[in-house]
Protein backbone atom coordinates (compact mmCIF):
# COMPACT_ATOMS: atom_id res chain seq x y z
CA UNK A 1 0.00 0.00 0.00
CA UNK A 2 1.10 3.54 -0.73
CA UNK A 3 1.00 6.19 2.00
CA UNK A 4 1.23 9.96 1.77
CA UNK A 5 1.96 11.74 5.06
CA UNK A 6 1.21 15.33 6.02
CA UNK A 7 4.31 17.56 6.30
CA UNK A 8 3.69 18.90 9.80
CA UNK A 9 1.76 15.99 11.32
CA UNK A 10 2.74 12.49 10.16
CA UNK A 11 -0.15 10.93 12.06
CA UNK A 12 -2.36 12.41 9.32
CA UNK A 13 -2.10 10.58 6.01
CA UNK A 14 -3.86 8.88 3.14
CA UNK A 15 -3.33 5.29 2.12
CA UNK A 16 -4.14 3.65 -1.22
CA UNK A 17 -4.16 -0.06 -1.99
CA UNK A 18 -5.23 -1.48 -5.35
CA UNK A 19 -7.97 -4.10 -5.44
CA UNK A 20 -7.51 -5.01 -9.10
CA UNK A 21 -6.44 -3.75 -12.49
CA UNK A 22 -7.87 -4.75 -15.85
CA UNK A 23 -5.12 -4.31 -18.48
CA UNK A 24 -5.82 -1.87 -21.29
CA UNK A 25 -5.86 1.89 -21.63
CA UNK A 26 -9.66 2.15 -21.66
CA UNK A 27 -10.18 -0.51 -18.99
CA UNK A 28 -10.11 0.29 -15.32
CA UNK A 29 -8.63 -0.23 -11.92
CA UNK A 30 -10.15 -0.08 -8.46
CA UNK A 31 -8.47 0.95 -5.24
CA UNK A 32 -9.28 1.54 -1.60
CA UNK A 33 -8.58 5.04 -0.39
CA UNK A 34 -8.28 5.50 3.36
CA UNK A 35 -8.03 8.77 5.29
CA UNK A 36 -6.30 8.83 8.68
CA UNK A 37 -6.24 11.55 11.35
CA UNK A 38 -4.10 11.02 14.45
CA UNK A 39 -3.37 7.49 13.17
CA UNK A 40 -7.08 6.63 13.30
CA UNK A 41 -9.07 5.62 10.24
CA UNK A 42 -11.58 8.40 9.51
CA UNK A 43 -13.04 7.17 6.24
CA UNK A 44 -12.53 4.49 3.63
CA UNK A 45 -13.74 4.67 0.06
CA UNK A 46 -13.53 2.39 -2.94
CA UNK A 47 -12.62 4.30 -6.11
CA UNK A 48 -12.65 3.09 -9.71
CA UNK A 49 -10.80 4.95 -12.47
CA UNK A 50 -9.98 4.17 -16.07
CA UNK A 51 -6.35 3.27 -16.60
CA UNK A 52 -5.98 6.26 -18.94
CA UNK A 53 -6.84 8.71 -16.13
CA UNK A 54 -4.93 6.76 -13.50
CA UNK A 55 -1.73 6.54 -15.54
CA UNK A 56 -1.93 10.25 -16.35
CA UNK A 57 -2.11 11.04 -12.63
CA UNK A 58 0.71 8.59 -11.83
CA UNK A 59 2.95 10.19 -14.45
CA UNK A 60 2.33 13.63 -12.98
CA UNK A 61 3.02 12.40 -9.45
CA UNK A 62 6.13 10.40 -10.40
CA UNK A 63 7.61 13.36 -12.30
CA UNK A 64 6.32 15.92 -9.83
CA UNK A 65 6.66 18.90 -10.07
CA UNK A 66 8.56 18.80 -13.39
CA UNK A 67 5.52 17.98 -15.55
CA UNK A 68 3.31 20.75 -14.22
CA UNK A 69 2.27 23.58 -16.51
CA UNK A 70 0.86 25.40 -13.52
CA UNK A 71 0.80 24.89 -9.78
CA UNK A 72 -2.46 23.03 -9.47
CA UNK A 73 -4.18 19.84 -10.62
CA UNK A 74 -7.80 18.74 -10.52
CA UNK A 75 -9.66 15.58 -11.47
CA UNK A 76 -13.40 15.07 -10.97
CA UNK A 77 -15.47 11.91 -11.04
CA UNK A 78 -19.18 11.73 -10.33
CA UNK A 79 -18.59 11.23 -6.59
CA UNK A 80 -14.88 11.94 -6.11
CA UNK A 81 -12.58 14.93 -6.57
CA UNK A 82 -8.78 14.95 -6.36
CA UNK A 83 -6.74 18.16 -6.50
CA UNK A 84 -3.61 19.83 -5.28
CA UNK A 85 -2.75 23.49 -4.98
CA UNK A 86 0.69 25.01 -4.38
CA UNK A 87 1.18 26.99 -1.18
CA UNK A 88 3.69 29.62 -2.30
CA UNK A 89 4.97 30.73 1.09
CA UNK A 90 6.16 27.18 1.92
CA UNK A 91 6.50 25.54 -1.53
CA UNK A 92 4.37 22.71 -0.16
CA UNK A 93 1.10 21.53 -1.68
CA UNK A 94 -2.37 21.25 -0.25
CA UNK A 95 -3.80 17.92 -1.40
CA UNK A 96 -7.59 17.97 -1.29
CA UNK A 97 -9.76 14.89 -1.68
CA UNK A 98 -13.51 15.15 -1.64
CA UNK A 99 -15.90 12.23 -1.74
CA UNK A 100 -19.64 12.28 -1.37
CA UNK A 101 -19.65 15.39 0.80
CA UNK A 102 -16.58 14.49 2.87
CA UNK A 103 -13.57 16.77 2.50
CA UNK A 104 -10.06 15.64 3.41
CA UNK A 105 -6.99 17.84 3.07
CA UNK A 106 -3.34 17.31 3.90
CA UNK A 107 -0.32 19.51 3.31
CA UNK A 108 2.51 17.65 1.57
CA UNK A 109 5.90 18.37 0.04
CA UNK A 110 6.69 17.93 -3.65
CA UNK A 111 9.18 15.19 -2.70
CA UNK A 112 6.43 13.35 -0.82
CA UNK A 113 4.08 13.60 -3.82
CA UNK A 114 6.85 12.32 -6.07
CA UNK A 115 7.56 9.36 -3.78
CA UNK A 116 3.83 8.65 -3.45
CA UNK A 117 3.52 8.54 -7.24
CA UNK A 118 6.31 5.98 -7.45
CA UNK A 119 4.70 3.89 -4.69
CA UNK A 120 1.35 4.00 -6.50
CA UNK A 121 2.93 2.98 -9.81
CA UNK A 122 4.47 -0.06 -8.10
CA UNK A 123 1.16 -0.87 -6.39
CA UNK A 124 -0.66 -0.72 -9.74
CA UNK A 125 1.98 -2.92 -11.35
CA UNK A 126 1.53 -5.50 -8.57
CA UNK A 127 -2.30 -5.26 -8.46
CA UNK A 128 -4.30 -8.43 -9.10
CA UNK A 129 -5.28 -8.60 -12.78
CA UNK A 130 -8.91 -9.25 -13.70
Secondary structure tally for the chain: helices H, strands E: 2, 8
pTM listed for this prediction = 0.84
Compute the average pLDDT of residues 8-21.
95
How many C-beta atoms lie closer than 10 Å to residue 73's C-beta? 22
Looking at residue 100, its pLDDT comes to 73
Query: Are 104 and 43 in contact, with CB atoms under 8 Å apart?
Result: yes
Query: What are the DSSP calls for 82-128, one per residue?
Result: EEEEEETTTTEEEEEEEETTEEEEEEE-HHHHHHHHHHHHHHHHHSP
Where in the chain are the domains?
2-126
The architecture in CATH of the region 2-126 reads Roll (2.30)
Looking at residue 9, its pLDDT comes to 94
Is the model's pLDDT at 66 over the cut of 70? no
Distance, in Å, from the CA atom of 81 to the CA atom of 83, rounded to the nearest integer, reads 7
Compute the average pLDDT of residues 48-63.
81
Compute the average pLDDT of residues 3-28.
93
pLDDT, mean over the chain: 86
Q: Cα-flanking dihedrals φ and ψ of residue 57, to 5°?
A: -65, -45
Q: What angle do CA 129, 59, 127 make, to 5 degrees?
A: 15
Sign of CA dihedral 23, 26, 32, 36: positive
| 12 Cβ contact partners less than 8 Å away, ≥ 6 residues apart | 5, 6, 36, 37, 38, 106
Q: Which of 8-17, 25-34, 87-96 is the most confident on average? A: 8-17
Is the model's pLDDT at 54 over the cut of 90? no
Amino acid sequence: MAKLFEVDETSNFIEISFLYSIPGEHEGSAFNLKYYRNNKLVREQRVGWTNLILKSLLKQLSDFPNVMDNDSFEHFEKHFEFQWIKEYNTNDYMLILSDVGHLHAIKVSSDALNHFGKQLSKELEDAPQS
